[in-house]
Amino acid sequence: MEIHNKGINLLTGADLRTGAKPPFRAQNSGSKDVFEKSGIEKTGEIGMDNVKILNMMIEDYKQLDEVDAIVLGGSSSAKSADNRSDYDIYIYCSKEPPVEKRREIALKYSDNPEIDNHYFETGDVYYLKSTGKPIDIMYRSLDGIENNIKNVWIDGNASMGYTTCFVDNVNKSQILFDREGKFNKLQEMTKTPYPEKLRQNIINKNFSFLKDVMFSYHDQIESAVARKDYVSINHRTAAFLASYFDALFAVNRVMNPGEKRLVEFAKKNCKILPENFERDVNNFASGSVVTKLDTASSLVENLRKIIDRDEA
């Protein structure tokens, strides 16, 4: 499966329509030691044992010629990890490192790693044999993620849900190794104020499709309820919520963190929330089919109020 966003393969940086790849540009800057200089604490969620192991792992991976940068992302870098969280390690490379070299490294730290998965992005997953902590390693290209940042953050193009997720991932990642400072330069691109053009495009595209246009998510859910098509109800409910949160975060000029703990994240990071926000979201996601349409309408109308208030 090719991993892409807006027609770009995130590993190779290639345009999926033309096959054209952007040039690899060499830059000169220093690299960075792992956890000592990354600002990641050695206590709490990342304990001393895991820090020692991860330091050794990063030292191994950065010896691979193809590796440009290694960063820690996900809930660990965002300070929202719990005891179920894995370590999301993103390895940015000019091309995928050889599978056997990756397997050799993984077997130093795990008894039974899964190497070269392609379910979403190219990745390796395993549990640390000494602590049991899950490790999720994903391979990407700097050129591919740069194209996404430019397409979304710079040019202001919106998606149906999850528009700023890759931008948020780069913005919050902790740099563990950066051979020539390239990832740091990309990260700096994401540290500008929330672009107003992008904000309006996200709201216009995602909010209107909740209920206001023909064949909206509300219309699709209504049809699925009438047919008692519970699989479709579930699928359209998820799509509705993806666009709902994309619009809500844009109203608040907050990057979209993805799909986990969104209610908790919104309550913590959004200055403006719709009336009955938590109750309606939870009821819509898990409540009775009988009340689903009414709850969807409540979500839309209460979100509309804060959008109209903001634009007034």
For the chain, give the percent of residues with pLDDT over 70.
81
Number of alpha carbons in the 13 Å side-chain half-sphere of residue 146: 19
74-128 pLDDT tens trace: 755 445 444 556 789 999 999 999 999 999 999 999 999 999 999 989 999 999 9
Residue 99 has which token pair?
Answer: 């599978």
Residue 152 in contact with residue 194, Cβ under 8 Å?
Answer: no
The partner residues of 134 in beta bridges, in order of sequence, read 127
The partner residues of 5 in beta bridges, in order of sequence, read 8
Residues in the chain where the model's pLDDT stays below 70: 1-48, 75-85, 312
Residue 190 has which token pair?
Answer: 């994401």
Cα distance between residue 93 and residue 10, in whole Å? 11
Q: At what angle do helices 196-211 and 230-251 cross, to 10 degrees?
A: 150
What pLDDT is stored for residue 75 in this prediction? 53
153: which residues sit within 8 A by CB, 6+ positions away?
Answer: 164, 167, 189, 190, 192, 195, 198
Cα distance between residue 195 and residue 174, in whole Å? 23
Number of alpha carbons in the 13 Å side-chain half-sphere of residue 61: 32
CA 232: distance to chain centroid? Answer: 25
Residue 290 in contact with residue 258, Cβ under 8 Å?
Answer: no
Cα distance between residue 97 and residue 104, in whole Å? 12
End-to-end CA distance of the chain: 45
Q: At what angle do helices 196-211 and 289-311 cross, to 10 degrees?
A: 150
Q: pTM for this structure?
A: 0.82
What pLDDT is stored for residue 47 in this prediction? 55
Exposure of 78 by Cβ count < 10 A (0-12 exposed, 13-18 middle, 19+ buried)? Answer: buried
